[in-house]
C-alpha cells in the first residue's frame, strides 16, 4: 500500500521513506569524507552521527574480499577483467602473504582459501608459461601457506609434479648435472623452460632433454615463453651443461624448470655446483590436479563483507554505491549476528535481521560477462531505528 492521505502507512513504508532520505544523506557524508569535513565535529575529528557506520574506501577496509581488486588510486573495489584468461591455476591454501602481481600474472581470492592465478597477456601457451614462471621461478607458490591443492586448466599437466635444476661453472673443465626420470612409460608431454647464461672467456651453457638433445643454449631466457615445441614423451634423462673458462671469467649458469610425471634423480659430474628442488618433497606442493571451469570454480561471483560491532540491533538500512553492468546482478544483505543469519534487502530499504551486536553488510555481484568491470565505491548503514 502506498502512503496517502487517509490511510495508515505500514512500518516498512515509513522506514523505506526514511531509507530514501538516508540514501541522500549518505551521499553527502561520503563527499564530505573525501574532501574533509569542515565543521565543528564531535571530538574535533569525527562527525557526530547517530547509529551510522560508513566507509568511502580510502583504505582497503573490507573485512572479507572474494573476487575484487582494491583500487587505492580511485578508492573503490573492482571486479577484474578475466575475459582473456585462457590458462589458469587454482591454488587452495590457508593464506597468501601478498596478492601476486608479477610477470603479467595476478592472483585473486575467489572464495575462502582459494586463489585464481592467471595471466593477462599473450597466447594460451604464454599464459601457461608465465604462470609457471611466476609460481616456480619467482617462487610465488611459496608465499602461500599450507598448500592443499594446485589445480590446473591445462589437461596435459594434470598429475604432473614440478622440479627445478640449477648448475653453475665451478672448474676449468666442462661440467654436467644430469637428471634421470623415474617414469619413462607414462611421462607424456614432459615440459621444460630454462635460462642459459654463457658467461665469459669463453664459456658455454645448455639445457638438454634428453641428454644430448639441446633445447636451449648460449644466453637465452625461455622462462615465461612458449616452449611447447620442446615437449618430450618419456625422455630418459635431462642435462645441464656448463663449460670451462680461465681465470677472471664470469660463471656459466643454467636453471631449468620441469613439469613431469614422477621423480627425477640427479648426478653432478664433478664441481658444477648442481642443485635441484622437488617441490613435492621439499615444500609439500601437491601434484597438479584438474581445475574445473571458471564458472564452477566460482570466479563469476564476487563478494565484499564489512563488519562492525554495535550495542544491539534488529533493524538496519544499508546504502551501497555501485556501478553494475546490465549483464551483472547485485545482491545486498545484512546480518546483525555476525553472519549466522543473513537478510536480503533492496538498497536503501529496511532490513530486519536476527538481533545481535555484530552488524555485517554483504555485497555479492554475479557476472555473466567477465569483461565487465563492476565497481563498489562506498557503503553506509544506519541501524537501530526503534
Entry pTM: 0.91
Q: Is the pLDDT of residue 64 over 90?
A: yes
Q: Is the pLDDT of residue 69 over 90?
A: yes
Confirm whether 11-76+301-383 and 163-272 share one CATH topology.
yes
**DSSP code of residue 160:** -
380 SS3 class: strand
In the chain, pLDDT over 70 holds for what percent of residues? 91
Mean pLDDT to the nearest integer, 98-126: 97
Alpha-carbon gap, residue 262 to 253, rounded angstroms: 26
Rg (alpha carbons) of the chain, rounded to whole number: 28
pLDDT digits (tens, 9 = 90+) for 162-217: 999 998 876 666 788 999 999 999 999 999 999 998 766 556 789 999 999 999 98
Query: Which residues lie closer than 8 Å to 174 by C-beta, 6 or more apart?
Result: 204, 241, 242, 243, 244
Q: Per the structure block, which three cell numbers stand in for 198? A: 654463457
Residue tagged 561471483 (cell numbers): 301
pLDDT digits (tens, 9 = 90+) for 225-263: 999 999 999 999 999 988 765 555 567 889 999 999 999
**DSSP code of residue 46:** B
Alpha-carbon gap, residue 174 to 240, rounded angstroms: 11
pLDDT digits (tens, 9 = 90+) for 118-177: 999 999 999 999 999 999 999 999 999 999 999 999 999 999 999 999 988 766 667 889
CATH architecture under which domain 163-272 falls? Sandwich (2.60)
Question: Taking the domains of the chain in order of start, what are their residue ranges?
Answer: 11-76+301-383, 163-272
pLDDT digits (tens, 9 = 90+) for 7-30: 555 788 888 888 899 999 999 999
Alpha-carbon gap, residue 373 to 233, rounded angstroms: 42
Per-residue three-class SS string for 118-146: EECCCCHHHHHHHHHHHHHCCCHHHHEEC
Judging by DSSP bridges, how do beta strands 149-152 and 288-290 pair with one another? parallel
Closest Cα to residue 205, out of 249, 161, 260, 248? Answer: 249
Task: Output the DSSP codes for 272-332.
Answer: S--EEEEHHHHH-PPPEEE---TTTTTTTEEEEEEEEEEEEES-EEEEEEEE--TT-EEEE
Q: Per the structure block, which three cell numbers stand in for 192? A: 621444460
Contact 180, 229 (CB under 8 A): no
Write the class of the CATH domain 11-76+301-383.
Answer: mainly beta
Amino acid at each position: 500500500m502506498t502512503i496517502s492521505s487517509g490511510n495508515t502507512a505500514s512500518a516498512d513504508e515509513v522506514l523505506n521513506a526514511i531509507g530514501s532520505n538516508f540514501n541522500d544523506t549518505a551521499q553527502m557524508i561520503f563527499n564530505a569524507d573525501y574532501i574533509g569535513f569542515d565543521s565543528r565535529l564531535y571530538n574535533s575529528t569525527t562527525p557526530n552521527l547517530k547509529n551510522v557506520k560508513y566507509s568511502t574506501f580510502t583504505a582497503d577496509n573490507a573485512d572479507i574480499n572474494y573476487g575484487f581488486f582494491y583500487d587505492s588510486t580511485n578508492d573503490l573495489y573492482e571486479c577484474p577483467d578475466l575475459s582473456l584468461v585462457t590458462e589458469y591455476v587454482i591454488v587452495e591454501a590457508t593464506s597468501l602473504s601478498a596478492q601476486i602481481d608479477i610477470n603479467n600474472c595476478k592472483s585473486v581470492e575467489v572464495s575462502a582459501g582459494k586463489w585464481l592465478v592467471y595471466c593477462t597477456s599473450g597466447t594460451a601457451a604464454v599464459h601457461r608459461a608465465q604462470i609457471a614462471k611466476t609460481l616456480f621461478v619467482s617462487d610465488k607458490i611459496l608465499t602461500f601457506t599450507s598448500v592443499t591443492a594446485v589445480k590446473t586448466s591445462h589437461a596435459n599437466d594434470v598429475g604432473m609434479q614440478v622440479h627445478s635444476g640449477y648448475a653453475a661453472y665451478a672448474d676449468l673443465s666442462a661440467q654436467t648435472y644430469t637428471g634421470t626420470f623415474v617414469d619413462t612409460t607414462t611421462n607424456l608431454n614432459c615440459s621444460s623452460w630454462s635460462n642459459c647464461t654463457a658467461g665469459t672467456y669463453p664459456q658455454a651453457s645448455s639445457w638438454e632433454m634428453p641428454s644430448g638433445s639441446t633445447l636451449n643454449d648460449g644466453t637465452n631466457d625461455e622462462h615465461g615463453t612458449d616452449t611447447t615445441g620442446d615437449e618430450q614423451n618419456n625422455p630418459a634423462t635431462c642435462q645441464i651443461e656448463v663449460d670451462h673458462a680461465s681465470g677472471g671469467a664470469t660463471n656459466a649458469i643454467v636453471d631449468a624448470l620441469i613439469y613431469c610425471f614422477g621423480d627425477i634423480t640427479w648426478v653432478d659430474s664433478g664441481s658444477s655446483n648442481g642443485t635441484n628442488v622437488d617441490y613435492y618433497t621439499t615444500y609439500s606442493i601437491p601434484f597438479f590436479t584438474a581445475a574445473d571451469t571458471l564458472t564452477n570454480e566460482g570466479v563469476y561471483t564476487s563478494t565484499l563483507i564489512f563488519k562492525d560491532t554495535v550495542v544491539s540491533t534488529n533493524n538496519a538500512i544499508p546504502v551501497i554505491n555501485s556501478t553494475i553492468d546490465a549483464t551483472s546482478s547485485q545482491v545486498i544483505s545484512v546480518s546483525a549476528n555476525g553472519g549466522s543469519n543473513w537478510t536480503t534487502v533492496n538498497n536503501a530499504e529496511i532490513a530486519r535481521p536476527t538481533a545481535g551486536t555484530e552488524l555485517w553488510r554483504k555485497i555479492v555481484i554475479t557476472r555473466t560477462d567477465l569483461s565487465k568491470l563492476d565497481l563498489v565505491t562506498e557503503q553506509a548503514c544506519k541501524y537501530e531505528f526503534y
